[in-house]
Amino acid sequence: MTSSAAVQVLAAAEQQLPEDVGKAGPLGLLLLVVLLIAVAFLVKSMSGHLKRVPRSFDEADQEPRIVVPDSPAGLVDDREPGQDLLETLRRAPRAIEAPRDDEGRTPRG
């Protein structure tokens, strides 16, 4: 292919394209502005969420937890661990009842 043929091919390609091809239009500018506004709102929201995150998740760095009893008796009684759970289980209705005899009593044995 000679250089004149290459020039003719390039000239023909330039003639086929309209003059506004490759240029950004007002719709592209609008899209760019909308995306920038969305990014600004996302940055603002994320910075608000990050302010609520504690600086450290180590338990040693956190303040000690204060346990307040429900009644004044909880201040006086020095209970063993698990006693509250046992009392709760004793007061709870039984899901499985013991077998009963004909008179409706539970046999002791």
Please list the pLDDT of the chain residue by residue as tens digits (109 residues): 567 777 676 666 666 666 666 677 888 899 999 999 999 999 999 999 999 888 777 766 666 677 777 777 766 656 677 787 888 877 776 666 677 777 767 766 5
Distances (CA, A) of 67 to 47, 71, 85: 33, 12, 16
31 lies in some domain: yes
13 lies in some domain: no
68 lies in some domain: no
What's residue 79's pLDDT? 66
Domain residues for the domain of 44 are 25-52
What's residue 62's pLDDT? 66
3-state secondary structure of 83: helix
89 lies in some domain: no
* 56 contacts: CB under 8 Å, gap ≥ 6: 62
- Structure pTM? 0.37
38 lies in some domain: yes
42 lies in some domain: yes
How many structural domains are present in the chain?
A: 1
